[in-house]
């Protein structure tokens, strides 16, 4: 049975955030809010967590997991950025974008796209999500909470607990959450390829398109 954590949307309680982080460090799997929508999250290196996310969402090996980072310095540890891409990504963060980029050796192999050796990264503009990754001290391995057969992600904490109570360790609810997934920008070859149009405006990357 998943634990339910009610977090203040403006001033997340440090004690509550600490309890969630303890669950993550114990190889727990959580659902948590972001500026786009709810996401599934696990600690980096949690092999079972990755398998559980794949099982919940019916994902194959080509799915790009996302590293949700606390800040740009942390993001830069896990992906390679040339100068043009660096400027474009930095200008759009924090925000409702996920960037696909070549991964560094810091990223576990199981997380990488099997052929491209890439990974997704983002910095959300959401107080609770940022409180979690700051307290954890490393990125959260995440995937949009979009269940098989559903057209829209889940956006209500109570509904997520009712639906996924048997497969999650915790649901974090702060009452405020986006309702549209991120816009995904693939920069793996140095140019901008929009692979999903979502909450973020894709036009800001038009000058870097192939």
pLDDT at 181: 92
Average pLDDT over residues 24-35: 97
Neighbours of 162 (CB within 10 A): 11
Q: For residues 92 and 122, give the distance between their C-alpha atoms in angstroms, rounded to a whole number.
A: 10
Q: Are 193 and 210 in contact (CB under 8 A)?
A: yes
At 163 the pLDDT is 95
At residue 168, the pLDDT reads 98
Residue 96 has pLDDT above 80, yes or no: yes
What residue spans define the domains of the chain? 3-208
**Percentage of the chain exceeding pLDDT 90:** 84
Q: How much of the chain, in percent, has pLDDT values that exceed 70?
A: 100
Pairwise CA distance, residues 184 & 195, whole Å: 6
What CATH number belongs to 3-208?
3.90.870.10
**pLDDT tens digit sequence for 159-185:** 999 999 999 999 999 988 888 999 999
Per-residue pLDDT tens over the stretch 100-124: 999 999 998 888 877 889 999 999 9
pLDDT score for 142: 96
Place of tokens 């576990």: 108
For residue 113, the model assigns a pLDDT of 77
The pLDDT value given to residue 111: 85
């Amino acid at each position: 049975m998943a634990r339910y954590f009610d977090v203040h949307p403006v001033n997340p309680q440090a004690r509550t955030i600490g309890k969630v982080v303890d669950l993550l460090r114990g190889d727990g799997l959580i659902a948590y809010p972001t500026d786009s929508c709810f996401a599934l999250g696990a600690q980096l290196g949690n092999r079972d967590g990755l398998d559980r996310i794949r099982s919940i969402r019916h994902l194959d090996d080509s799915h790009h997991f996302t590293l949700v980072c606390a800040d740009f310095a942390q993001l830069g540890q896990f992906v390679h950025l040339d100068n043009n891409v660096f400027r474009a990504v930095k200008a759009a963060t924090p925000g409702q974008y996920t960037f696909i980029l070549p991964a560094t050796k810091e990223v576990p192999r199981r997380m990488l796209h099997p052929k491209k050796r890439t990974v997704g990264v983002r910095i959300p503009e959401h107080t609770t999500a940022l409180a979690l990754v700051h307290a954890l001290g490393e990125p959260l391995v995440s995937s949009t909470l979009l269940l098989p057969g559903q057209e829209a992600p889940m956006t209500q904490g109570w509904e997520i607990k009712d639906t996924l109570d048997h497969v999650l360790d915790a649901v974090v609810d702060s009452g405020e959450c986006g309702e549209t997934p991120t816009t995904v920008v693939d920069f793996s070859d140095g140019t901008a390829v929009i692979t999903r149009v979502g909450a973020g405006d894709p036009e800001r990357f038009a000058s870097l398109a192939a």
